[in-house]
Amino acid sequence: MELFLTPASISYIAQTIVFLGITIYLILKNNGTKANFWLGVAFSIMVAAGLAGFIGVSSLRFQVEGMLVHDTLLVLGLALLTQFAYNFSTIKSVGEKQAKLILWVNNLLTIAAIALIVVYLYRFINHPLLIFVPIIIEIFLVLEISWLMIFFIYMTGKLSTLEKNKSWSYRFLHPQGRLAIAAQGFGFSFIVLWFFWLLSILLAICGFNNISFFIFTLVTPWALTFFVIALIDQTIRKASFFFKFIIIILLTTFTGISSASWLIAPASAANYFTIFSIPNLHTIHFEQNNAIYEINYSEFIFYEDVGKEITFPEGETTVSEELEFTFPFSGENWESILINKKGFIAFNDNPVNLNKLSLPGNPNPIIATLYVKDLTPSKNSTVFVNHQEDKTIITWFIASEDPDMDISINTQLILTPVGTFDISYNDVRVFTMNDPYIPTEMQQVSGFFLGPNDKFPTRIKFDNHLPLTSINWKGVYQDYYIDFRDYLHWSMSMQFIAMLLVALLMLVLYPILIETSLVKPIQTIRSGISHVVRGDLNVNFEPRFSDDLGQTTYEFNQMVRVLNEKHQNYENHIQDLDEKLHLRNLELQQTLEKLGNEINNRKKLKTYLDKCIQQNRKLEITDELGCNNRTQLLNVLEDEIKRAKRYNTTLSFVIVDPDYLRMINDTYGFSTGDEVLNSLVELLLNNIRETDIVGRIGGEEFAIIMPQTLGKDALIGANRIRNLIGANPVETSKGQIRLSASMGVVEITKEGVASIDLLLHQANLALEVAKKKGRNQAVLYNSSMEKTIT
């Protein structure tokens, strides 16, 4: 894809570079918020839009396609900016329903724009209304930017801390609060963008495309850059000064260069058409040697003996002429040639229609002296041929039939039997009014085209002083032509290179200048302030320059000196006060020591008293074995019965009676019996659940309260404890004594009405049954036991 630099190209390149810098900055300073994400993505799309615009205004082939892609990407970018606007503040400016509606409208516009451009580019359907696709996409742009402008004006008033009774216009023009000021900057940016975009669209409709392009490409980067600066000023502080300074310098420089290129483009085009497109009084020699063409300037020759005039049939522009010799060209030896009235000859053995010939790229071998694409020869145009044994001379005297095209061509082609030929330009004047802002296709061509006949592509060697160019130059090619427009391309390229050099120079020099003249002095003052904040007043900085910052540094030193003197005076005064305070502290210390001793004594007494109270409380509810006494046990049982009734839960009660304890007392003594009871209580306490309660209900009888336990589960638990009692002999002072126990288990049912007396009665009945069955058993109470015991 061949690109030509135009003023609009430079503007779009500048816009792309600025937007790319903003995108990189937003990525580096990402704070993880949704607003920052949407803004970064939006400017990434703007970068792509700038590149598409560059291709659109620089390409011969993709002008319409490039600008359509550019406008569609702008639609997408503005939709993403809408997402940024909605997520900019935690204070929602619109409700959820309105936000969803806005989101769907933007999505619809974006999808519609993409669908329209796909249909337009690939022509899935052929409809005359497709010509309105670019206009529809521009309408989408106006709708989106209008919404953003209104939204930011509304958001400024919404975020402002002024009284709500103020008008919206007053709150927009006089915002209070950092977010409101940022929103005001957004609003002004889009007001400017909205106005100038509408102006550029109206100018394009009226036919002023160049001015429209200039306004659009100039205003867009400025407005969107100040949009980001408004955000930075109120939200981002770190490194924002460097970024703002550099981006403004770049933007200013690019604007100057772009404006200059727009202003000088007509002059450059005029110079180009005046000088470089008229190769007067020149002869270019084409010599073929071993399949290599050497091309260079030779001494100017224009034969006055032009021979006979060629008569063209009515409506035809091509005639065939026989040569006096064979002419080797494009891999064949030709005995005849086809002479065209538009300044070229073609080679073909069969008749061909050359009326619609276009160069370059024609399939016929051709030699052109000076072919102008849009030229229609007038009736006064003549062609002469002079056949000689050693050469054939064809001379063209061509004038344009169109009065608006000032074209006069007087050229001569000399063919020789060895395959060399010369092209001479005697009097050439080509002046066509081309738009200097938009690239156009090839207008004039000189040279030869070998066509498809050459099986072995001819190599080309040419004098580097000639303004030569080619299609797909790779050292070996078949189609060759001279394009004098290359000089204009070179002029615009030099402007672009100059722009890049200036930008590079600014990127290098401005940071150094700012660093030495602004940043370092400010950092010095900040360092001094940090020392003062830490209490170090022995600082003194030497000013780097005698400017405002240098004077500020000097005044800072003066301030620190005054502060240091006052600090010394305060230190002396404080020292005197410290001495007086020390004496007073000694007196207070003695008094505090006495008071402390008194407090310690009282604390010791209180601790002892609390300990005694705790012991008394423990003795009130426990016996000498460490388990709950009868009174405490019955109180707990009464509470559990009430709880079981209130919450409709189960409750079981177990009476434990050690077997043959009286026999142990009679045999080993009461002290041994007490040891057995201690071991029994320890075993019970260590093998019950955390929710179970153990207590002493009689002299040698113990009880276990099991909350939220069914009778059958309580029976299982009782048997487990009974087995543990039997499996663990009691170690006494008289030796090991094996012990067993009988247990009576009773359950308070959910339907029954329980009382303590009834519960004790039922548990004792179950215990008697266990003893009658031979002791060392656990028996669950049932109502039949009443009759049995009775």
Q: State the residue for tokens 């407090």.
A: 599
- What strands lie across the sheet with 459-462, from one edge to the other? 308-309, 382-387, 392-399, 406-415, 421-431, 282-289, 292-298, 459-462
Listed residue (704, 712, 783, 775) closest to 739, CA to CA: 775
Q: What count of other Cβ atoms lies within 10 Å of the Cβ of residue 344? A: 28
The pLDDT score that the predictor gives to residue 484 is 37
Dist CA 463 CA 296 (whole Å): 5
Burial class from Cβ neighbours inside 10 Å (0-12, 13-18, 19+) for residue 471 reads: middle
| pLDDT, tens digit (0-9, with 9 covering 90-100), for 101-152 | 777 887 888 888 888 888 887 766 666 677 788 888 888 888 888 888 888 8
**End-to-end alpha-carbon separation of the chain, Å?**
118
Q: Which two tokens stand for residue 776?
A: 């060392």
DSSP β-bridge partners for residue 695: 628, 703
Structural element, H or E, at residue 224: helix 209-235
The pLDDT score that the predictor gives to residue 274 is 40
The pLDDT score that the predictor gives to residue 71 is 87
The pLDDT score that the predictor gives to residue 445 is 65
| pLDDT, tens digit (0-9, with 9 covering 90-100), for 541-577 | 776 555 566 677 778 888 888 888 888 888 888 888 8
The pLDDT score that the predictor gives to residue 270 is 47
The pLDDT score that the predictor gives to residue 232 is 72
Dist CA 687 CA 670 (whole Å): 26
Q: What is the CATH number of domain 630-789?
A: 3.30.70.270
| pLDDT, tens digit (0-9, with 9 covering 90-100), for 362-401 | 677 888 887 777 788 888 899 999 999 899 999 999 998 8
Asked whether the CA dihedral 694, 695, 697, 701 is positive or negative, the reply is positive
Residues near 6 by beta carbon (within 8 Å), at least 6 away in sequence: 57, 58, 265, 436, 437, 438, 439, 492
Dist CA 383 CA 547 (whole Å): 79
The pLDDT score that the predictor gives to residue 241 is 62
Answer whether 340's CB lies under 8 Å from 359's CB.
no
DSSP 628: B
pTM over 0.75: no
* 7-273 topology per CATH: Rhopdopsin 7-helix transmembrane proteins (1.20.1070)
All structural domains of the chain with their residue ranges: 7-273, 281-484, 630-789
The total number of residues shown for the chain amounts to: 790
Q: Which CB contacts under 8 angstroms, 24+ apart, belong to 196-199?
A: 196/223, 197/141, 197/142, 197/145, 198/142
Dist CA 311 CA 315 (whole Å): 12
The pLDDT score that the predictor gives to residue 458 is 41
Q: What angle in degrees, to the nearest 10, is found between the helix axes of 7-28 and 486-514?
A: 30
| pLDDT, tens digit (0-9, with 9 covering 90-100), for 482-510 | 333 444 444 555 556 656 666 676 677 66
* Residue ranges for the chain with pLDDT beneath 70: 1-2, 4, 60, 89-96, 99, 123-128, 161-164, 233-242, 260-279, 290-293, 350-362, 431-503, 505-506, 509-510, 513, 516-517, 543-550, 615-621, 750-754, 788-790
Listed residue (343, 374, 355) closest to 314, CA to CA: 355
The pLDDT score that the predictor gives to residue 272 is 43
Residue 360: cis peptide before it, omega within 30 degrees of 0: yes
DSSP β-bridge partners for residue 469: 481
In whole angstroms, what separates CA 427 from the centre of its chain? 62
Listed residue (687, 688, 702) closest to 623, CA to CA: 702
Dist CA 618 CA 217 (whole Å): 93
SS3 letters for 359-386?
A: CCCCCCCEEEEEEECCCCECCCCEEEEE
The pLDDT score that the predictor gives to residue 716 is 93
Residue 563, CB-side half-sphere exposure with 13 Å CA sphere: 17
